[in-house]
Structure 1
């Protein structure tokens, strides 16, 4: 299962590169570059609770 999402406003700029990397990963069985910067496993467990997320969301511009 592969997902390329959550790119926010930079998504349009990143779409071509994200699509290329994801397609190469699917075809070859491994990503062609280091994707740690966008890996969901980079988050800590405390960042997954509702209170933390609500408080951080309120810090974002426009919300």
Structure 2
């Protein structure tokens, strides 16, 4: 199954995923810099579930 990139752009999924990746990468660097206890995985899991749900809603037929 091909994923229509233009459809993902129109529904905002692509923007959501890009912002997610940039912010989580920045938070991961901050988390690594501040040391233990590490917490960025919770942000990744929670927000990642939101991005996945957004993509699922956009791609279902």
Give the structure-2-normalised TM-score. Answer: 0.33
Taking structure 1 as the reference length, what is the TM-score of the superposition? 0.32
More helix by share: 2
